[in-house]
């Protein structure tokens, strides 16, 4: 993908379908039309495709296939985890999250507060890091659930999920992690990490849109939001087999090439950041000293408005964003960056660049040239 007519650096919003998935997904749409709940040959064929994909998702997580529940997206997975965990802990009504969680989590919890759920939001420091001592203090006997992102969607900052999960477990709280931005970028070995629930979204790592998954640890009873017999009665409704097939294939791709692709993306991200810092005075990387996933860079462009830069990038055929796609389009500053201590003006001067396994060095170099040209023009216009 080196065509300078279109360079896509908004992969935390969504990704292109992996080329290796296109034909299998199209073939499934065309040929595997049976309902996987049906007992005839067409249904059995669909069921076999469904279970093969489930096994592939489980392998990516080092989990059992029976622990994988397919959903429509990451938002549904997060909601099922949170609502299901609260229902699984009757008499407990406290949830602990961070102040930088995805809008799908924070919006749901805002709604649940009206139903009597108490929510504690943990602060982060200037680099977006979580204080584990604050987490330990926040958990009370009334805490049903701790829910923390594994990787932040705006900055890429990684939370210490292994330690956080152990703290929650030691205090008797269930632990959920939103791993939507971590899958396919870092190892997710759930045989070693004591999480009870983990959310995935296929379109964040080159699967089709319309499919997500929730890992549910064996032995945990989860109350569904959608009732029906599918997915072991944990998520009713006919499964989206073609999209699920695509997700299974991208899990296989991610598992097979994880280390190599992560290293390549890290080198390109570092090339982007070093180039920006060298060529654009006043630029800063938000969360740059914290552990991060390898594909994400949150760059603050001094006093320049991010939306103006993004408009010029778009006209030059370069796609990036000012933050989460679920909140982009509004004029409010990012809640993630504000929680990190940035002023509104600093947050509004920030652009998120998110790379993929298909990003090339030539694309990064072209983006740097365009950014330098845009910065020069905007600085001259402001003088």
- Annotated active-site positions, please? 326
Q: How far apart are the C-alpha atoms of 1 and 133, rounded to whole Å?
A: 44
- Block residue for tokens 């201590």: 341
Q: Which helix (H) or strand (E) covers residue 362, if one does?
A: helix 361-382
Nearest to 104 by CA among 212, 205, 190: 212
The Cα 85–Cα 63 span in angstroms is: 19
Cα 95 to Cα 85, 105, 163, 202, distances in angstroms: 10, 11, 18, 26
Cα separation, 250 vs 208, in Å, equals: 9
Pair 149, 186: CB distance under 8 Å: no
Nearest to 68 by CA among 205, 226, 185, 211: 211
Task: Say if residues 238 and 36 touch (Cβ distance below 8 Å).
Answer: yes
Place of tokens 């059995």: 44
Q: Check: CB of residue 324 under 8 Å from CB of residue 102.
A: yes
CB 190 within 8 Å of CB 215: yes
Token code pair at residue 108: 């749901």
Taking the C-alpha atoms of residue 26 and residue 33, their distance in angstroms, rounded to an integer, is 11
């Amino acid at each position: 993908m080196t065509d300078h007519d279109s360079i896509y650096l908004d992969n935390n919003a969504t990704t292109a379908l992996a080329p290796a998935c296109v034909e299998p997904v199209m073939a499934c749409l065309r040929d595997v039309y049976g309902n996987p709940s049906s007992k005839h040959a067409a249904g059995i064929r669909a069921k076999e495709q469904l279970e093969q994909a489930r096994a592939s998702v489980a392998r990516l997580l080092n989990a059992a296939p029976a622990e994988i529940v397919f959903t429509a997206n990451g938002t549904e997975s997060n909601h099922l985890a949170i609502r299901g965990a609260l229902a699984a802990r009757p008499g407990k009504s406290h949830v602990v999250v961070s102040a930088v969680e995805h809008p799908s989590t924070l919006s749901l919890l805002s709604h649940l507060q009206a139903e009597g759920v108490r929510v504690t939001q943990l602060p982060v420091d200037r680099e977006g890091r979580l204080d584990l001592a604050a987490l330990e203090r926040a958990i009370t006997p009334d805490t049903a659930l701790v829910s923390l992102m594994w990787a932040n969607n705006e900055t890429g900052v990684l939370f210490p999920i292994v330690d956080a999960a152990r703290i929650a477990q030691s205090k008797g709280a269930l632990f959920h992690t939103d791993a939507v931005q971590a899958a396919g970028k870092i190892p997710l070995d759930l045989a070693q990490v004591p999480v009870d629930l983990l959310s995935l979204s296929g379109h964040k790592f080159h699967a089709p849109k319309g499919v997500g998954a929730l890992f549910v640890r064996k032995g945990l009873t989860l109350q569904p939001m959608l009732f029906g017999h599918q997915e072991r009665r944990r998520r009713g409704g006919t499964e989206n087999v073609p999209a699920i097939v695509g997700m299974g294939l991208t899990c296989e791709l991610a598992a097979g090439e994880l280390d190599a692709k992560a290293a390549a993306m890290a080198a390109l991200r570092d090339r982007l950041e070093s180039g920006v810092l060298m060529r654009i005075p006043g630029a800063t990387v938000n969360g740059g000293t914290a552990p991060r996933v390898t594909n994400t860079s949150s760059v603050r462009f001094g006093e320049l408005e991010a939306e103006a830069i993004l408009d010029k990038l778009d006209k030059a055929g370069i796609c990036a964003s000012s933050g989460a796609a679920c909140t982009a389009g509004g004029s409010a500053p990012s809640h993630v960056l504000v929680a990190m201590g940035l002023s509104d003006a600093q947050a509004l001067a920030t652009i998120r660049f998110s790379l993929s396994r298909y990003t090339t060095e030539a694309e990064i170099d072209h983006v740097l040239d365009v950014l330098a040209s845009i910065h020069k023009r905007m600085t001259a216009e402001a003088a």
